[in-house]
Every structure is written in C-alpha cells, then in structure tokens.
Amino acid sequence: MVKAVVLGAAGGIGQPLSLLLKTNPLISELSLFDIVPVVFGVAVDLSHIATPAKVEGFTKDNDGLGKALKGADIIVIPAGVPRKPGMTRDDLFKINAGIVRDLAVAIATTAPKAFVLVISNPVNSTVPIVAEIFKQHEVFDPKKLFGVTTLDVVRASTFVAEKIGDLSVSTAVRVPVIGGHSGVTIIPLLSQSSHSLPANITQDDIAALTNRIQFGGDEVVKAKDGTGSATLSMAYAGAEFAEKIIRAIKGEVGLVTPSFVHLTSDKSGAEVVKEELGTNELEFFSCKVQLGATGVEKILPIGEVSSFEEGLIKAAIPELKGNIEKGTAFVNAPK
C-alpha cells in the first residue's frame, strides 16, 4: 500500500503528473492538493481510470492540506509559479520560496516520515528551504529529501540519441547529470554516456550539446512564449523518479539515479564526492544516488571526467553555493 500526494496538482505539471501516478499500479492512494478548486474536478476525472489508486482532491478549506498529507508515503511538490521568457529560475524565488516553506511546515507536522520530492523552482534553493524547515521541526531525515533533476537526465538521453541519429535508443541512453538544476549548475557528464557519441564528434559539438542540456528549460520557455515552462516532459520525468522511489521503498535493490540531495544523506559517499569536487563548501549536490528502502542508501562517486567537464564542475560551484545559501538564509533569517 503506497499513498502518494501531489501538492500543486491542478497545475501544468500537476495534472499530467497526477495522471501518470494514477496509472502506476504500485500506488494505492493518490491525494491531490491545490489552492484552486479545479483540483476537485481533476481528481474526479482521474478517479474514473481503471487502476488501483483511490484518488481524492483537496483545497485549503476544511484542513484539506492536512487531510491530503495524512499517512503519505511519498509527496511530490510541483506547486509554484513557472518562468516566462527573460526570467531565470532564481527570479521565481520571491514567490516560490514562501509557497514551498509553507508546504514544508505542513509536511513536517503531518507527514514527517514521507519521502519528499521537490520539483518547484529554483530547486537549488527550494530543497534547502525544505531541509531547514524540517530541521526546525526536528524531523529532518536527509535520506528522504530529493530535488528532482530527472528532467535534465531525460533531456540528456534524448539529445544524445538525436546526435547518434536513432531516437529508438533514447530510453536506453544513460548520461549522468550532476550538480544542480539551473543553467551552469547543470553538469552533464557526456564522457560517461552509456552510448558512444558518433566518432566524428568534435569538442565544439560536445560543448554545444552540453549547452543545450544546461539550457533545455529555456528552449521550452521560449517555445511556449510566455505561457509557462516544461510541464509534460517534467511530468514524465517526475513520474519516472517517483516510480524509482516507490520501487526502492518496496524493496527493489540497485536502483541508481541522479538527484539533488543533502550531503549528510550518506556521509562516507559524500566525503568521496567532496574530495572529487575539491570543496567542502556545498551542503547539497546532485549526485548519482543508490536508492534503498529508507531512501538514499549510497552517494556514488562522480568518477572519471574529461577536462572539459572538470571546467563545468568548477564553474558550477560558486552559483550552486549561492543558491543553497539563499534558501537556507530565507528560513533562518531573523524575523
């Protein structure tokens, strides 16, 4: 029996993500929360799909958030505003930081043992916000808090398959993407791709492909022309990541995926990563993570990287550090 909850379920990501979770036979209960009442309609609509999950919608009225969260095993958070052209993810901080903080307080008091998957941007700052709120409520388990960076991994697989000239291999292509989830903090390790790039690929091609993965979000924001950012590919990525977590909860071993995690979630693994990064200054980093029934089981080493990727890592660290500190300070600043 697995209860999944989506916070922000009526939104551009929330609706297709809830659809994909409803089709997951491992989920027995699916609670959908949003501040807009259309969430009730979304829940009724999904409830007609012939899969095991019992679906219910909630808004703020009558302690809807508490009811939605009660007994949750896994909580996915896509609540918050998306970007418009010309904005950075950090520009969303002003609105989304408060939204995520308030949702984290509700989780800390109602479902402190749940796995929490944060999609709301800027992920590099919203995940630290959740961690700080959980620390304040003395319920922080670093093994169970994840920033969802799966869309970067999905994009990397797709774009590499395009380069290879065969989209049919895209689901098999594995490219670790580490670091964080914004611009230069997104570090695709193309040198570790499971599928070799074409032999005639140049360093300029590698740089262009890297840039496309780092700024894939902007490609969608531009194409949607002021109406939002990635929703459908994000729902796909979010559902894929949630499924991995659920399979791990249910005892499957050996599941490995990148995710933005707190570096105390596996202290010995993190020591190796810090050594590889050449810094002790980052509290969070998107690492290759081995999942287990209690969450992060192992943080795996970054491994061998090219000199180009070494440069990407160096360039990412200062921005990542600033983003993390901004989230932490938002919660801890004197009132």
- Residue positions in the annotated binding site for substrate? 83, 89, 121, 155
State which of positions 75-134 bind ligand NAD (CB under 6 A): 78-83, 92, 96, 99, 103, 119-121, 123
CA distance 278 to 246: 34
The binder of 221, among ligand LMR, ligand NAD, none, by C-beta within 5 to 8 A per type, is: ligand LMR
Q: Does residue 321 belong to the site contacting ligand LMR (CB under 6 A)?
A: no
| Shortest Å, Cβ 35 to ligand NAD | 5
Among 217, 238, 269, 295, binds ligand LMR (CB under 6 A): 217
Nearer to ligand NAD, 99 or 190 (CB): 99
For residues 281 and 274, the answer to whether their CB atoms sit within 8 Å is: no
Nearer to ligand NAD, 83 or 163 (CB): 83
**Residues assigned a catalytic role:** 181
Among 39, 151, 277, 305, binds ligand LMR (CB under 6 A): 151
Among 3, 22, 83, 144, binds ligand LMR (CB under 6 A): 83
The site string for ligand LMR over 167-206 (x = CB under 6 A, - otherwise) reads: ----------------------------------------
Q: Does residue 17 belong to the site contacting ligand LMR (CB under 6 A)?
A: no
Nearer to ligand NAD, 84 or 274 (CB): 84
- Indicate the residue whose CB is closest to ligand LMR: 217
Among 31, 229, 286, 328, binds ligand NAD (CB under 6 A): 229
The binder of 148, among ligand NAD, ligand LMR, none, by C-beta within 5 to 8 A per type, is: ligand NAD
| Shortest Å, Cβ 148 to ligand NAD | 5
Binding site, annotated residues for NAD(+): 8-14, 34, 96, 119-121, 234
| Shortest Å, Cβ 221 to ligand LMR | 5
| Shortest Å, Cβ 121 to ligand NAD | 3
Burial of 61 (0-12, 13-18, 19+ CB in 10 A): exposed
Output the CA torsion 246→247→248→252 (10° steps).
160
3-state SS track over the chain:
CCEEEEECCCCCCHHHHHHHHHCCCCCCEEEEECCCCHHHHHHHHHHCCCCCCEEEEECCHHHHHHHHHCCCCEEEECCCCCCCCCCCHHHHHHHHHHHHHHHHHHHHHHCCCCEEEECCCCHHHHHHHHHHHHHHCCCCCHHHEEECCHHHHHHHHHHHHHHHCCHHHCCCCCCCEEECCCHHHEEECHHHCCCCCCCCCCHHHHHHHHHHHHCHHHHHHHHHCCCCCCCHHHHHHHHHHHHHHHHHHCCCCCCEEEEEEECCCCHHHHHHHHHHHCCCCCCEEEEEEEEECCEEEEEECCCCCCHHHHHHHHHHHHHHHHHHHHHHHHHHCCC
| Shortest Å, Cβ 197 to ligand LMR | 22
State which of positions 29-68 bind ligand NAD (CB under 6 A): 33-36
Q: Which two tokens stand for residue 221?
A: 């924001």
For residues 22 and 51, the answer to whether their CB atoms sit within 8 Å is: yes
Site residues (vs ligand NAD, CB under 6 A): 7-8, 10-14, 33-36, 78-83, 92, 96, 99, 103, 119-121, 123, 148, 151, 181, 228-231, 234
Site residues (vs ligand LMR, CB under 6 A): 82-83, 89, 121, 151, 217, 220-221, 229-230
